């Protein structure tokens, strides 16, 4: 089934010049880029995008991170693209991401390791379900005028 996923290169990925590399990985996999925009995300939109995580202790830090610089927002289309993009991206925590994945290859270690250490920067976001893909593209991306 053809579905759509929302991929966002986060501020660290943009600042480190990883946009081309990340786009290239999705292109090489055969997915179709249907929309793209460089965007400074306002706080309200970041909070809406991550509303499922509102109760988490890391939520304020996550919003600060996402709004700390421009992000690249994209919609990608293809058969099974949501699940496939998650595999290309790798585990949410870059410490667990396999080599060969975007996070496994490109997310760098910042800060000091500890028992509950979680790297605060993981380069890229991908929708976690086709429903959230629709919601994010129809919500965040609609606000960005991504979808004509």
Binding-site residues from annotation for ATP:
10, 58, 86, 92, 103, 122
H runs (alpha helix) in 50-108: 59-66, 81-89, 102-106
Token readout for 88 is 């290309």
| Residue ranges of the binding site | 10, 58, 86, 92, 103, 122
117: phi then psi, degrees, rounded to nearest 5 = -65, 135
CA distance 70 to 96: 26
Q: Does 118 bind ligand CMP (CB under 6 A)?
A: yes
Give the nearer residue to ligand CMP in terms of CB position, either 117 or 142: 117
Q: Does 117 bind ligand CMP (CB under 6 A)?
A: no
**122 closest CA partner among 86, 87, 93:** 93
Is 142 a binding residue for ligand CMP by CB under 6 A? The answer is no
Q: Which residues are catalytic?
A: 125
Contacts with ligand CMP, residue ranges (CB under 6 A): 53, 58, 62, 92, 118, 120, 122, 125
């Amino acid at each position: 089934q053809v579905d759509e996923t929302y991929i966002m290169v986060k501020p660290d990925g943009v600042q480190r010049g990883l946009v081309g590399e990340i786009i290239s990985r999705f292109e090489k996999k055969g997915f179709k880029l249907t929309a793209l925009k460089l965007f400074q995300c306002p706080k309200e939109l970041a909070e809406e995008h991550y509303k499922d995580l509102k109760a988490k202790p890391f939520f304020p830090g996550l919003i600060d991170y996402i709004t700390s610089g421009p992000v690249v927002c994209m919609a990608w289309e293809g058969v099974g693209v949501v699940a496939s993009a998650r595999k290309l991206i790798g585990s949410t925590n870059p410490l667990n991401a396999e080599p060969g994945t975007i996070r496994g290859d490109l997310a760098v270690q910042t800060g000091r390791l500890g028992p509950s250490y979680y790297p605060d920067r993981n380069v890229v976001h991908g929708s976690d379900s086709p429903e959230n893909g629709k919601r994010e593209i129809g919500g965040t991306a609609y606000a960005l005028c991504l979808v004509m």
